[in-house]
A and B are shown apart, each in its own frame.
Chain A
Amino acid sequence: MSQNPLTLNHDVNDATRSAGPTRRPEVPTSPDIAVVPDTDPVFQISDLSFFYGAFRAIRDVSMDVRGNQITAVIGPSGCGKSTFIRCLNRMNELIPGTRVAGRIDYHGQDLYADDVDPIEVRRRIGMVFQKPNPFPKSIYDNVAFGPKVNGLKPASMDDLVEESLRRAALWDEVKDKVKKSAFSLSGGQQQRLCIARCIAVKPEVILMDEPCSALDPLATNRIEELMIELKQDYTIVIVTHNMQQAARVSDRTAFFTAEVSDEGRERTGVLVELDRTEKIFTAPGDRRTEDYITGRFG
């Protein structure tokens, strides 16, 4: 798939118009979202499997994640979406007794090579969690912690904190109380603080595991807008249960499902397909995808 990165996919709108199964989430067709240039891959994942002890949670996942795009990961609960994105910044290996097989290349470098430092990986590949998890400190300290421990020496920490909070669309709400406890913020504000904290270490990729599942529709909306804005500078992978959300924000969507493996009774997560979001939601290539997005999935 070595297309010219500037090629625009004009066939998208046609696909949207074609009649499909009922109850499909509405797909936005505004030109800036529907037209996706193919960018260079940031991650190239081949035959990735992940084991919790003897239990294989995902099997033989091969896909790539392209730069400056939002890649959504969807699928039924327990199919290994969280497991998958935690492989991308080596958070999984903090869980004892786990093992990864296969290969993840990050800009061509094997992420799991012996001389790769997971600390360095996590600094470049940031993560926002499902439940907002600010540190029990001030808003300012939450943002300043990352740069500090990473030895970043910005000309002015105050400026870096302000810039990060601005980018996370939180500055206007907190500018008078940055020394106040982060716990005094609402859930949606806390999640944006977590995004600001993540941006402050200047990562290249932001992984988000259901970042909006604890938020109301308005706060969700703000974070979605924020993601679309952030993809100018970052590569984003987002796990979501909300298919409208995937349809609204993402450029490409990966659909995972859980399968009973040949070896036994366990349910193992597999990647069913990865394609442009419009394609996944209007003309999926696989029956299982179609069943899932139309709500026929059991």
Chain B
Amino acid sequence: MTAVALPIAARLRRGASRSRLGLLLDAVFSSGLFVGTFLGVLALGLLLWTVYDRGWERLASDPSGFFANFVSRFPARAGIKAALYGTAWLMGLTALFSFPIGVGAAVYLEEFAPRNRLTSFVEANIANLAGVPSVVYGILGLGVFVRFMRMGPSLLAGGLTLALMSLPLIIIAARESLRAVPVSIRLAAYALGATKWQAVRHHVLPAAMPGTMTGVILSLSRAIGETAPLIVIGAAVSIFNTPDDVRDPFSALPVLIFNWTSRPQPAFAEAAAAAGIVLLAMLLAMNTVAIFLRKRFATRW
């Protein structure tokens, strides 16, 4: 037993009980992970900087015009008013449809559904739906809402399509947060003579709400950044009034950006980047709210 003879300082020294290879691997992995994180942040920084660099001048030179004008053949006079309104309407409609349905489905699956084949089939398919490309939802929206239900390329059809697209993620996020509510809370409610619905309604659902809201906002922010499904169902660019009804045709920021970037004039590319800044600002604001909700209201059990 030579170790007994070693002084304490030697026994506590780095590497005293670990091989050199172990220490080396430790260093390699932690620096590898750091580089990975760094690359991710770098890519995001580059993206933000490019958009800022290309679009900021255009945005700052005439901000009121940029927000207040409709589109135009002349890049200097073109603005994003219709698209901004359209995106705001879409966001509201998408939230309106997807939130109650998504949370309802999550509550049913998590709290009430019998554990049988049908339920696991539905659960597996929700996970699959979350992976379906957004353009496919556009095709679905075109077939069902625009044509079959005769909604035309309206805000309603757009909102419903984006809501359908957001549903799987909302259901998954809501179920996660429902599952995070400890069983002991449900038992406490039952032991007081509460029905299942009362336990869910008064305790489980409120406790799961911050997590659910975070999921809802994140999937909403994904939805309003979507271009493909809106183009497929027929979102327009040349719209010269703001919508005042869900049956109105609409434009949206990502659609407008797509349109502007495909034009030859460099000034339109700048306008597209400027609109991109607006869209990014909206998304970042939403994500900030989501993080805030999670940090501020989440129950720590």
Cβ of A126 and Cβ of B191 under 8 Å apart? Answer: yes
Residues of A within 8 Å of B301, CB to CB, are 136
Separation of A277 and B192 alpha carbons in the complex (Å): 29
With both chains docked as a complex, state the minimum distance between the C-beta of A117 and any C-beta of chain B, in angstroms: 10
Indicate if A264 sits at the interface (CB-CB under 8 A). Answer: no
Tell me which of B184, B190, B192 has the highest count of chain A C-beta atoms within 10 A of its own C-beta.
Answer: B192
Residues of A within 8 Å of B184, CB to CB, are 129, 131, 133
The verdict on A197 contacting B187 (CB below 8 Å), with A136-B207, A136-B299 known, is no
Indicate if A8 sits at the interface (CB-CB under 8 A). Answer: no
With both chains docked as a complex, state the minimum distance between the C-beta of B193 and any C-beta of chain A, in angstroms: 3
Residues of A within 8 Å of B189, CB to CB, are 135, 145, 149
Please encode chain B, from 191 to 228, with 1 for each CB lying within 8 Å of some chain A CB and 0 for all others.
Answer: 11111001000110011000000000000000000000
Indicate if A223 sits at the interface (CB-CB under 8 A). Answer: no
Indicate if B13 sits at the interface (CB-CB under 8 A). Answer: no
Please encode chain A, from 116 to 146, with 1 for each CB lying within 8 Å of some chain B CB and 0 for all others.
Answer: 0001101110110101011111000000011
The verdict on A135 contacting B203 (CB below 8 Å), with A129-B184, A129-B187 known, is yes
Indicate if B88 sits at the interface (CB-CB under 8 A). Answer: no
Residues of A within 8 Å of B192, CB to CB, are 122-123, 126, 145-146, 149-150, 197-198, 201
Cβ of A135 and Cβ of B191 under 8 Å apart? Answer: no
Interface of B is mostly: helix
Cβ of B193 and Cβ of A146 under 8 Å apart? Answer: yes
Separation of A55 and B191 alpha carbons in the complex (Å): 25
Indicate if A91 sits at the interface (CB-CB under 8 A). Answer: yes
Indicate if A108 sits at the interface (CB-CB under 8 A). Answer: no
Residues of A within 8 Å of B296, CB to CB, are none
Residues of A within 8 Å of B47, CB to CB, are none
Q: Which A residues from 141 to 175 make CB contacts under 8 A with B?
A: 145-146, 149-150
- Other-chain contact of A96, B115, B185, B193, B207 (Cβ < 8 Å): B115
Please encode chain B, from 63 to 100, with 1 for each CB lying within 8 Å of some chain A CB and 0 for all others.
Answer: 00000000000000000000000000000000000000
Residues of B within 8 Å of A120, CB to CB, are 193
Cβ of B195 and Cβ of A119 under 8 Å apart? Answer: yes
Indicate if A194 sits at the interface (CB-CB under 8 A). Answer: yes
Tell me which of B184, B191, B299, B300 has the highest count of chain A C-beta atoms within 10 A of its own C-beta.
Answer: B191
Interface residues of A (CB under 8 A from B): 89, 91, 94, 96, 119-120, 122-124, 126-127, 129, 131, 133-137, 145-146, 149-150, 183, 194, 197-198, 201
| Given A94-B187, A94-B190, A198-B192, 12 new contacts (CB under 8 A) | A89-B191, A122-B191, A133-B188, A134-B188, A135-B189, A136-B185, A136-B203, A145-B203, A149-B195, A150-B193, A197-B188, A198-B191
